[in-house]
Structure 1
Amino acid sequence: MDAAGTDDAVLRLGAMPAHADALCVFVHGRGQSPEEMADHVIDRLRNSSAHVVLPRAPGGVWYEARAVDPLSARSASQLEAALDAIDAAIDLAVSEGAPGDRIVLAGFSQGACLSLEYVLRRPGRLRGLVAFTGCRVGGALRAQAATFLDGLPAYLSCGDADPWIPLDAFFEAAQDVARAGAALRVEVFPGRVHEVLDAEIAVLDAMLEQVAAGRVASGTRREAAA
């Protein structure tokens, strides 16, 4: 995709905001950059009518702890700041004319973990979730998620021997998303290293097309039943 704009905080690609038929926010992983995600993922998308915003973590790290570590006060604060950065990326694009009712949130590795946390902690803005190789952040605090996603399309993928995301943690995240009521698709790729395959990118492409055409349900917030 051609660049639509950039600044110190975000990289913006694809269609200009006011001309886009969907908005994709893509979150990079630990030690990565928006430019790397542009090379490895966004430039491989067929869809060129979406506006893509890639937020940038200070120092390339959204939070210092591993996702599977218990959530400390420091990592909890870093996590909230990272979720705020996603909101800020959405707000920036929408303020420039991007469609605020057709948003897909996606990410890889640490960015996938953040995307999962965002959809479960701050639901209501999204029309799709794509998490390439992620899990919940904080381990023992998983059960705190108490929101529901009514039919929100969600795609979670991982390798069966990924060096960073244990498969049991990946499946626990998938269970949380499923319990929250999302329309969930899960794929585990045998032998896949820490990367994003063409088959995974094709799912993001298809979701962007479906969101742009208005063929997906909206995620809504409601209280958990007692």
Structure 2
Amino acid sequence: MYTHKKDVITKGKPLSETGKALILIHGRGATAQSILDLANYLPVQDFTLYAPQATNNSWYPYSFMAPEAQNQPALDSALEQLDELVKSILGQGVKSEDLYFGGFSQGACLTSEYTSRHARKYGGILIFTGGLIGEKVDPTRYKGDFAGTPVLITTGDPDPHVPVSRVEETVNVMEKLGAIITKKIYPGRPHTILQEELDLASQLIASPENG
């Protein structure tokens, strides 16, 4: 088992110029650089981008639906690394409503888990094929108020890693915390991100209330 060493790649203009940040979280076996490439398809020219790198290219060793103890201490370490990054960004004067998150697969699971444990008014959350972490969803661990934060959550049906039932449970928890959810389930879609998903993500980021 492992803990994650602090390793974050940044891209774009300095935060002091943009005042807006997007944290992108890569999937299992991928890299911070690969998820940053996703930003080329999103309207984020006026954002400062951050992509943390998982030690061993994986945030936790087993399925996100394995008993949680099997994924420790890596999972807690990943959540802690994300929390440190968020606190660092907010500590530089960025408002939480100007902070955005996006993740794919294992990174999407981490994104939904972290933001739901720390619900507040964020700019937007992009969950590309992921859901809350644990053998069962425990609603008592999720606290705060998303206060109308827009959330895009997508998956394939079936997906080899993320069952639709867990996406539905995730939507339920996040809505109860005050998120405004756009859910898209694509029949027969492989484990990837479609152009339509990127278009929806771009609409969320570029919506007038987020301007």
TM-score computed with the length of structure 1 as normaliser? 0.81
1:149–1:99 Cα change, 3 Å: closer
Question: Unaligned regions of 5+ residues in structure 1, if any?
Answer: 1-7, 217-226
RCO higher in 1 or 2 (8 Å CA, sep ≥ 6)? Answer: 1
2:85 is aligned, of 89, 101, 105, to 89
Asked if 2 retains the 8 angstrom alpha-carbon contact of 1:9 and 1:55, the reply is: yes
SS at match of 2:139: helix
Check if 1:47 corresponds to 2:44: yes
Check if 1:122 corresponds to 2:107: no
2:176 is aligned, of 175, 179, 187, to 179
Q: Which residue in the other structure is 2:148 paired with?
A: 151
1:163-203: CA deviation from partner (whole Å, max 9, x where unpaired): 11111122111121122221111001122111111221223
1:90-146: CA deviation from partner (whole Å, max 9, x where unpaired): 344455665554001111001100111111112236332110000111122423234
Asked if 1 retains the 8 angstrom alpha-carbon contact of 2:137 and 2:169, the reply is: no
Q: For 1:101 and 1:123, locate their aligned partners in 2 and report how far apart those are by CA, in whole Å.
A: 11
Q: Which residue in the other structure is 2:100 paired with?
A: 104
Q: Which residue in the other structure is 1:17 paired with?
A: 15
Asked if 2 retains the 8 angstrom alpha-carbon contact of 1:19 and 1:98, the reply is: no
1:64 is aligned, of 61, 64, 72, to 61
1:146–1:94 Cα change, 3 Å: closer
Q: Which residue in the other structure is 1:194 paired with?
A: 191
SS at match of 1:85: helix
Q: For 1:109 and 1:180, locate their aligned partners in 2 and report how far apart those are by CA, in whole Å.
A: 22
Q: Is 119-128 or 9-18 further displaced after alignment?
A: 119-128
Q: Is 91-100 or 25-34 further displaced after alignment?
A: 91-100
TM-score computed with the length of structure 2 as normaliser? 0.86
Q: Which residue in the other structure is 1:31 paired with?
A: 29
Check if 1:78 corresponds to 2:74: yes
1:99–1:152 Cα change, 3 Å: closer
Question: Unaligned regions of 5+ residues in structure 2, if any?
Answer: 1-5
> What letter matches 1:205 in structure 2?
S
